[in-house]
Structure 1
Amino acid sequence: MILIPCAARAADQTALFAGGNFWALQAMFDSLPGVERTVAGYTGGTEANPHYADVAHGRTGHRFVVLVIFNDAAVSYEQLLHAYWRAIDPTDSRGQFCDHGAQYTSAIYTYGAAQAQAAADARMLMETDNTAFSDANGNDIHVATAILPAGIFYPAEIGQQRYYEKNPLRYWLYNKLCRRAARLQSIWGKPSP
């Protein structure tokens, strides 16, 4: 069962990604053409209707996630996967950047066999093909990102939605202190202009 806060159009597709605290991941997905909307939330745990503080302290078993509603005529699931990999540290099994704990670990939650296969293919390519997915030094990457079937999605509190817009200074400081950009550059190289 999935709880989506707004009805999606019939042509839209749904994807679900975990990559540390959802603030930066939501900002990245919101910037992509073809993404209709995103919702920050929680999934994977046993507690119904979790709250941010409980998830952040690891009390619910949930991960921080971003639900992505996208128009697959404008952006493919494979393109979302590519953007996702470049926004996380797929080698960190302890969490992401300065956030550690199971709630901050990366995962791709899939809706159906096609998404599961695309995610598995992208992960395998990243681990084996240095020309497509490698660190900035050309080394093979051991991927710690889980691929799991999607379960119940719980939207995060309104104050957590689009945090980067509501609290731009705090969001900037969070990314800076976590050294997010520096770590991503060390893995993926300099971003394209």
Structure 2
Amino acid sequence: MAEQTKLATFAGGCFWCMVGPFEELEGVLSITSGYTGGDIQNPTYEEVCSNTTGHVEAVQIEYNPAQLSYQELLKTFWRQIDPTDKEGQFNDRGESYKTAIFYHDESQKEEAEKSKEQLDKEGPFNEPIVTPILPAKTFYRAEEYHQDYHKKKRFHYLMYRKGSGREGFIKEYWGE
């Protein structure tokens, strides 16, 4: 990671669905699908999906803060998830599909807390926002077949995104 770049790490349920929206933002340099939050080293997809590792599926974004603010990344994140669901995301249930913001410094922590508060007060949800804001832990890159899945298996990804309920939820709450 170059000096003029920063990292942002978000768990939003299935990581396949989290890459595309961030990829569209100018200033994003790379997005890696992976696992974080747990204590098991080098977990596999199967281990994480067993809900016994403490890890969640997440994306780690390398970005240029001179081109893209952390606030804009937060805004994009909130609009991809159901932040009121503490049991997973859409059809994906269990620990590995829970949402979280993993901050890399105090500034990110403060900005994330402020955006969560604002969403709770002004957002379109009737239930409280339950997405936790946690210190970043070691991030483990997912297996290669998970990287850029939305491009490699486009048809399957689009069917999954729609069938899981995520696409309809985003349209209902954000009109996008």
Which position in structure 1 is the counterpart of 2:116?
A: 123
- Aligned equivalents of 2:92 and 2:28: distance in 1? 26
Deviation beyond 4 Å, 4+ runs, structure 1: none
Q: Which amino acid aligns with 1:80?
A: L
8 A Cα contact 1:89 1:187, kept in partner: no
Q: Which amino acid aligns with 1:73?
A: A
Which position in structure 2 is the counterpart of 1:5?
A: none
Equivalent of 1:69, from 56, 62, 66?
Answer: 62
Are 2:31 and 1:38 aligned? Answer: yes
Alignment of 1:29-178 (within 5 A): 29-129=22-122, 133-135=123-125, 140-178=126-164
Q: Deviations 1:20-58 (Å, cap 9, x if unpaired)?
A: 010010121112111011100001112110011111221
What SS class does the counterpart of residue 79 from structure 2 fall into?
A: helix
Residue 187 of structure 1: CA displacement?
2.5
Q: Which amino acid aligns with 1:111?
A: H
- Aligned equivalents of 1:68 and 1:152: distance in 2? 14
What SS class does the counterpart of residue 171 from structure 1 fall into?
A: helix
What SS class does the counterpart of residue 2 from structure 2 fall into?
A: coil
Structure 1 range deviating more: 31-40 or 178-187 = 178-187
Are 2:9 and 1:16 aligned? Answer: yes
- 5+ residue gaps, structure 2, are none
Q: Which amino acid aligns with 1:92?
A: D
> What is the root-mean-square deviation in Å for CA atoms of aligned residues?
1.1
- Amino-acid identity (%): 36
- Aligned equivalents of 1:185 and 1:141: distance in 2? 18
What SS class does the counterpart of residue 53 from structure 2 fall into?
A: coil
Give the alignment's TM-score, normalised by structure 2. 0.96
Count of residues in Structure 1 that have an aligned counterpart in Structure 2? 176
Residue 141 of structure 1: CA displacement?
4.5
Give the alignment's TM-score, normalised by structure 1. 0.88
Q: Which amino acid aligns with 1:108?
A: I
Q: Deviations 1:51-76 (Å, cap 9, x if unpaired)?
A: 11111221311000100000111110
- Aligned equivalents of 2:7 and 2:57: distance in 1? 17
What SS class does the counterpart of residue 87 from structure 1 fall into?
A: coil
